[in-house]
Structure 1
Amino acid sequence: MRATQELHDLGQSLWLDNITRDLLDSGTLKRYIDEFSITGLTSNPTIFEHAISRSSSYDAEILRLTGAGLSGEDLFFKLAIEDLRRAADLFAPVYKRTATVDGFVSLEVSPLLAYDTQSTVREAAALHGGAERPNLFIKIPGTKEGVPAIEESIAVGIPVNVTLLFSREQYLASAEAYMRGLERRVSKGLSPDVRSVASLFVSRWDKATLDDVPEPLHDKLGIAVGRQVYKAYRDLLESGRWQRLANLGAHPQRLLFASTGTKDPKASDVLYVSALAAPNTVDTMPEETLVAFEKHGTLSGAIPRNGGDCEEVLVDFEKVGIDLTKLAADLQSEGAKAFSDSWAKLLNAIQQKSKALQQPG
């Protein structure tokens, strides 16, 4: 049995953290669905920047949209939504088979709005409505300003993928926002069946501390944080508050492990996939990590319900001077900046391509 099938059978959804027009046109994404048990897909500004700037597959569409008077963000979202519609249609059978639990694709609001609540809410509604696909998540960052945007978007029925979460506290803030949004719907007599995932970024913890901790602690922090958040996730699902919502028809905001590609060249290329296997969660992985796990990945069981030794490991990092609270905040702000930088590169690449394609000859 394929390792990816084993992970799927354990109850964890495998999503691909990538999208390009080439993946769609070549049939590779369809093959991953059929052969590698992939049941969803995520994207972000960096992924689209690479896809558009490093490929000619978008050139004809860029030329057509430029001729129609589109530019900048408007042009990009037309390109992105076209790709994600096609991907959403490929996952539609999964979406139906799992009673709308799985089979989602994700599109992020402009990273420039990471600290603008009302603009995020407006753009989330516009993007989801424009895509016309029920299995599309709108990605909203779990920043201080993003939390109320998550609540508001859920309250009006928009499925949300909360992104840029790095710690238990950041996760719980997004989960609280999700529940508040559902409770507002219930108070108005609306269905609380609005789907969401909460994306915890894992490998960046280890990349940030690799040079600052002794070798025995290398590549252990991301896994410990992931397991700590998993325990918090399970605790929340057993709370009376959540049970009341579930009794009214709500479904869990599933915990999603993101940034699961290994950054340390000395570590296993499937380190986080193997260590963070858990039922009723999602792992979205880069294409190279997916292929590597399919080839030589192994499972050693699921994350313990209580997070195993995660608290002891976190204490070990604090003992060597790692301020986990500060680092979580820094990682979130750095992540938001990285996406903003990719966004600027993306829009510049589109602008340059538009100019070049309109040149005679």
Structure 2
Amino acid sequence: MNRNTQALHMLGQSLWLDNISRDMLADGTLARYVAEFSITGLTSNPTIFDKAIGGGTAYDRSIAELTQQGQRGEALFFTLALQDLRQAADLFRPTHDATAGVDGWASLELSPLLVDDTAGSIEAAKRLHAAGERPNLFIKIPGTPAGVPAIEESIFAGVPINVTLLFSREQYIAAADAYLRGIERRIAAGLSPKVESVASLFISRWDVAVKDTVPQPLRNRLGIAVAKQTYKAYREMLASTRWLKLAAAGAHPQRLLWASTGTKDPAAPETLYVEAFAAPDTIDTLPDKTLLAFAD
């Protein structure tokens, strides 16, 4: 077990991998990350799968078989993605069971074509989670104006949600409120409050956006400032009477997840954001390069 990653684990922070490919599943890379680096979950997105599928031949046989069966376009993509994510979810299942569902998750993102479609997002979240056939599969819904009501409805329906593409404290608060409303409705309806969720705040995109407009001493600082504001709001939510009432009923908190934590500035340390965001009751999802640099 690596000392650096284990230290974060002992602090109360989960480390997830922001990557997946059929090759890393087949050659044992992901299993090694679990054993050596305390990786307890995984996030994916369409860009990650595009790189994985287009970067080699590992998917060729499955693509040929599925196209013969008549699958095309998004249907083909989601079948391939779920094949990989089921394997990842199975690898994380012992952690998921040991933590009563708090940790040990894989994540699948909805089609970006649904970004402005609330009803379509709700339907797709239910369908994809059912197709995944794994209890530890998050469905990623963006925290957009159309996504927020879809998050509430999905939580109420019992679909575990990774709220993605959050960029501010205000967006986080809206996502947290949607989660709380969904759980409150479940309790009022006599349903179990144990539907998990995480809220993913994207960090490095802020620093990329302002890199040419701020003085050198302020570069790579805005993302950290936004994260600190958001973490304060997160701790305030966990201390609120509203949340404590739900916790007493058996609900688990929607954990805050640090996303986009690989540095985009070649002059900055690869571990800049990892070191800045070591905080209890959070998750940090890391690309391979950042994970290996931090473990070194």
Q: Which amino acid counterpart does residue 54 of structure 2 have in structure 1?
A: S
Question: Displacement, 1:121?
Answer: 0.3
Question: Displacement, 1:2?
Answer: 1.9
The aligned counterpart of 1:164 is 165
What does the per-residue CA deviation read over 1:50-85, in whole Å, with 9 as the maximum and x for residues that have no partner? 000111100000000000111111111110000000
Higher relative contact order (CA 8 A, sep 6+): 1
SS of residue matched to 2:199: strand
Q: Which amino acid counterpart does residue 56 of structure 1 have in structure 2?
A: T
SS of residue matched to 2:158: coil
Question: Displacement, 1:209?
Answer: 0.6
Q: Which amino acid counterpart does residue 17 of structure 2 have in structure 1?
A: L
Structure 1 runs (4+) greater than 2 angstroms displaced: none
Say whether 1:240 aligns with 2:241. yes
Question: Displacement, 1:164?
Answer: 0.2
Distance 1:61 1:2 in 2: 39
Question: Displacement, 1:278?
Answer: 0.4
What does the per-residue CA deviation read over 1:211-262, in whole Å, with 9 as the maximum and x for residues that have no partner? 1001111111101111110000000110111111111111100000000000
1:1-361 aligned at under 5 Å gives the runs 2-295=3-296
Which has the higher Rg, Structure 1 or Structure 2? 1
The aligned counterpart of 1:346 is none
What is the aligned length?
A: 295
Q: Which amino acid counterpart does residue 187 of structure 1 have in structure 2?
A: A
Q: Which amino acid counterpart does residue 266 of structure 1 have in structure 2?
A: A
Question: Displacement, 1:9?
Answer: 1.0
SS of residue matched to 1:121: helix
Distance 1:170 1:81 in 2: 28
The aligned counterpart of 1:305 is none
SS of residue matched to 2:256: strand
Distance 1:108 1:121 in 2: 13
What does the per-residue CA deviation read over 1:300-330, in whole Å, with 9 as the maximum and x for residues that have no partner? xxxxxxxxxxxxxxxxxxxxxxxxxxxxxxx
SS of residue matched to 2:279: coil
Q: Which amino acid counterpart does residue 5 of structure 1 have in structure 2?
A: Q
Segments of structure 2 that go 5 or more residues without pairing to the other structure are none
Question: Displacement, 1:100?
Answer: 1.1
Distance 1:133 1:23 in 2: 20
Question: Displacement, 1:7?
Answer: 1.0
What does the per-residue CA deviation read over 1:239-296, in whole Å, with 9 as the maximum and x for residues that have no partner? 111111111111100000000000111111100000011011000011110011000x
Distance 1:95 1:72 in 2: 32
SS of residue matched to 1:79: helix
Percent identical = 65
Q: Which amino acid counterpart does residue 12 of structure 2 have in structure 1?
A: G
SS of residue matched to 1:219: coil
Distance 1:215 1:74 in 2: 46
Distance 1:4 1:139 in 2: 25
Q: Which amino acid counterpart does residue 37 of structure 1 have in structure 2?
A: S
TM-score relative to the length of structure 2: 0.99
SS of residue matched to 2:195: coil
Distance 2:105 2:133 in 1: 13
Distance 2:149 2:70 in 1: 34
What does the per-residue CA deviation read over 1:80-121, in whole Å, with 9 as the maximum and x for residues that have no partner? 000000000000111111111100000011011011000000
Distance 1:126 1:42 in 2: 19
Name the Cα RMSD after superposition. 0.6
Question: Displacement, 1:42?
Answer: 0.2
Distance 2:113 2:218 in 1: 35
